[in-house]
Chains A and B, each alone.
Chain A
Amino acid sequence: MADYHEFIEKMGPKIKVEIRKKRRLYFQVKNDDILEVVDYLFNKMKCRLSTATATETYHGIEALYHFSDDNTGNYYCPRVVMKDKKNPEMNSITPMIKGAEWIEREMAEWWGIKFIGHPRPIPLLSRNHPENLNNPMRCRR
């Protein structure tokens, strides 16, 4: 919890904490601030990017990143909500973290999210696929 406190204090108004429990911190971040928050998590706190999850909700398309602090076992999960469902776009963290390349390509392919600044914005799974997959994970319910 002490680690969370330091992180929350450091990030201040840039983050809005949603769920705070043992070893898990979920918080919302604006797209303009995501790079600064990720820079702090990855470069200052030495967290590892585990993966990211995109979800479609009534409010918009969410991209939830999962950062693991392997020294404490804590998970930090910044969430960016894109309200424009037709053209969801956000800043790519791949220029900062090479390990984010595949997961951002996957989210772009399945959810139609445009990652601004992604160095290799090509589909991950359907690069040579004869069918147009048309963001297959959208509008499921």
Chain B
Amino acid sequence: MEIKSNLKEISNKNQIPVGPFHPLLEEAEYFNLTVDGETVVDIDMDTGWMHRGHEFISEQKSFTQSIYLVERICGICSTSHPLAFVHALEDIDNIEIPLRARYIRTLVGELERIHSHLLWVGLAGHFIGYDTVWMWAWKYREPVLQMFEIISGNRNHYGMMRVGGVGKDVDPASIPELNKILDMLVKKMNMIAKIINDDPVLRSRLIGVGVLTKKDAIDYCAVGPTSRASGVRGDVRKDEPIDAYDLVDFDEIITKNGDVYDKFVVRVLEIIESIKICRQCLNKLKEIKGPFFNNVKEISAGEGIGRYEAPRGEVFHYVRTDGTNRVVRHKVRAPSFNNIPTFQASCKGIPIADALITLAGVDPCYCCTERAIRVSDKHNKNKKIDLLKLSRDKTLYIRRNA
């Protein structure tokens, strides 16, 4: 009995660090996997590798300046953050926006979802060694960025959102060209959907991997495709249909298994739904004339909540104003902030080879998650920080205390 007991205690537990700089991660983040043999038994996450300061900076800028600031929280969600922010400001005074602006906002938001999901589909293919999927997905993402260029003049950071509407109109002459790109995309997305359904490699590699149960998704308050793939209903576009979401027809995609395969399916089907929404918006933009911007003179003192269904889930902005032209408190919560902690549930008990695709499965965005930090001294004065020194100090600290 003693020998057996001792053998049980001598387990083969090892620590595998992933990050903070790792080919799997597009951005800096640190995961420490505890493995017993080939099985992951625990995971610890250490955030804080990207010091930003958006919440604090926003409180020193005017509303319009802050729109450009929050646009730069994330390169992929550069519509979702400003849209949620203007929703929050509009929520304070219940500001109505012109119908044409509602459709333009929805169009740009859905194009963002398409290119973000295609980015993830490509990365997921790459992570599991299926580079054909990666090349195809990224090839078809390119025309979506061209659509952005046609609409806004930029491939990224579109500068479209304003309190009271949008900053730029969609040129009616460009609509046939935009529709032509959508025609091509639909065909290609149907092809990718068929591949997911048929391909034995994808199915055997993704089905049953990194399962997040419905209960865990609810307990961890997961959002977006991460929770919808686990059978939890919840989509801001349906729950609180602002902009033109109550005027367009689309389905909320929900699956029930919670594995990476279902997350893949949800995203691909959402792309097809987004194309459907974009078509409806473009058709309406052909018919609707009128302004695309209400000139809002001031925002009164109060509190406002703005949210938008970003590609990764609900983006949440809370603002408190005092009647001046800036916020006195600005809280930003990106979807990854809620989704990353679900690794505690989805990564335990899986083989180490599956851990990487499971980590990527929620489409984590670390620059969104680490949006604010500020260092001050004991007199509450801002410190000027030498980032290189700080970085080296941190490495030294970890080395000494490991």
Q: Give CA–CA (A26, B234) in the complex, Å.
A: 22
Q: What is the CB-to-nearest-CB distance from B80 to chain A, in angstroms, rounded to a whole number? A: 15
Q: Are A102 and B337 in contact (CB under 8 A)?
A: yes
Q: What is the CB-to-nearest-CB distance from A42 to chain B, in angstroms, rounded to a whole number? A: 9
Find chain B residues with CB under 8 A from A72 CB: 239
Q: Are A50 and B220 in contact (CB under 8 A)?
A: no
Q: Give CA–CA (A81, B305) in the complex, Å.
A: 19
Q: Chain A CB within 10 Å — which of B240, B302, B378, B393 has the most?
A: B240
Q: Are B303 and A50 in contact (CB under 8 A)?
A: no
Query: A51's closest neighbor in chain B, by CB?
Result: B333
Q: Are B329 and A136 in contact (CB under 8 A)?
A: no
A117 at the interface (CB under 8 A from B): no
- Knowing A126-B373, A133-B375, A136-B375, say if A51 contacts B47 (CB, 8 Å): no
Query: B344's closest neighbor in chain A, by CB?
Result: A98
Q: What is the CB-to-nearest-CB distance from B73 to chain A, in angstroms, rounded to a whole number? A: 15
B91 at the interface (CB under 8 A from A): yes
A-contact 0/1 string along B347-383, CB 8 Å cutoff? 0000000000000000000000010011111101001
Q: Are A50 and B221 in contact (CB under 8 A)?
A: yes
Q: Are B221 and A136 in contact (CB under 8 A)?
A: no
Residues from 142 to 163 in B contacting A, C-beta threshold 8 Å: none
- Knowing A24-B91, A53-B331, say if A99 contacts B219 (CB, 8 Å): yes
Find chain A residues with CB under 8 A from B328 CB: 141
- Knowing A134-B378, A136-B376, A137-B374, say if A127 contacts B48 (CB, 8 Å): yes
Q: Give CA–CA (A136, B48) in the complex, Å.
A: 14
Residues from 77 to 128 in A contacting B, C-beta threshold 8 Å: 77, 97-103, 110, 123-128
Q: Give CA–CA (A26, B333) in the complex, Å.
A: 18
Q: Are B380 and A66 in contact (CB under 8 A)?
A: no
B-contact 0/1 string along A59-75, CB 8 Å cutoff? 00000101010111101
Q: Give CA–CA (A127, B401) in the complex, Å.
A: 12
B398 at the interface (CB under 8 A from A): yes
Residues from 218 to 241 in B contacting A, C-beta threshold 8 Å: 218-223, 233-234, 239-241
A22 at the interface (CB under 8 A from B): yes
Q: Are A50 and B373 in contact (CB under 8 A)?
A: no
Q: What is the CB-to-nearest-CB distance from B388 to chain A, in angstroms, rounded to a whole number? A: 13
Among the stretches B5-13, B174-182, B279-287, B314-322, the one at the interface with A is B314-322
Q: What is the CB-to-nearest-CB distance from A139 to chain B, in angstroms, rounded to a whole number? A: 5
Q: Are B316 and A129 in contact (CB under 8 A)?
A: no
Q: Are A66 and B305 in contact (CB under 8 A)?
A: yes
Q: Give CA–CA (A103, B341) in the complex, Å.
A: 11
Q: What is the CB-to-nearest-CB distance from A93 to chain B, in angstroms, rounded to a whole number? A: 11
B204 at the interface (CB under 8 A from A): no
Q: Which of A49, A55, A68, A131 contacts B375 (CB 8 A)?
A: A131
Q: Which of B59, B240, B331, B377 contacts A51 (CB 8 A)?
A: B331
A19 at the interface (CB under 8 A from B): yes
Q: Which of A50, A98, A110, A127 contacts B46 (CB 8 A)?
A: A127
Interface residue count on the A side (C-beta < 8 Å) = 46
Q: Are B240 and A98 in contact (CB under 8 A)?
A: no
Find chain B residues with CB under 8 A from A50 CB: 221, 307, 314, 316, 333, 338
Find chain A residues with CB under 8 A from B344 CB: 98
Q: Give CA–CA (A26, B398) in the complex, Å.
A: 43
Q: Which of A71, A98, A125, A134 contacts B370 (CB 8 A)?
A: A125
Q: Are B373 and A49 in contact (CB under 8 A)?
A: no
Find chain A residues with CB under 8 A from B302 CB: 19
Q: Are B316 and A102 in contact (CB under 8 A)?
A: no
B-contact 0/1 string along A11-30, CB 8 Å cutoff? 00000000101111010000
Q: Give CA–CA (A127, B397) in the complex, Å.
A: 11
Q: What is the CB-to-nearest-CB distance from B191 to chain A, in angstroms, rounded to a whole number? A: 33
Q: Are B221 and A97 in contact (CB under 8 A)?
A: yes
Find chain A residues with CB under 8 A from B374 CB: 136-137
B31 at the interface (CB under 8 A from A): no
B132 at the interface (CB under 8 A from A): no
Q: What is the CB-to-nearest-CB distance from B274 to chain A, in angstroms, rounded to a whole number? A: 20
Q: Are B397 and A66 in contact (CB under 8 A)?
A: no
Q: Give CA–CA (A102, B48) in the complex, Å.
A: 12
Extra inter-chain contacts (9) besides given A70-B239, A131-B383, A136-B373, CB under 8 Å: A23-B240, A72-B239, A75-B305, A97-B221, A99-B220, A100-B221, A123-B48, A136-B376, A140-B59
State the A residues within 8 Å of B (CB): 19, 21-24, 26, 48-51, 53, 55, 64, 66, 68, 70-73, 75, 77, 97-103, 110, 123-131, 133-134, 136-141
State the B residues within 8 Å of A (CB): 46-48, 56, 59, 91, 94, 218-223, 233-234, 239-241, 302-303, 305, 307, 314, 316, 318, 320, 328-329, 331, 333, 337-338, 341, 344, 370, 373-378, 380, 383, 390, 393-394, 396-398, 401
13 contacts between A and B (CB under 8 A): A22-B94, A23-B240, A50-B333, A50-B338, A100-B221, A103-B333, A123-B48, A125-B370, A130-B394, A134-B378, A136-B373, A140-B56, A140-B380
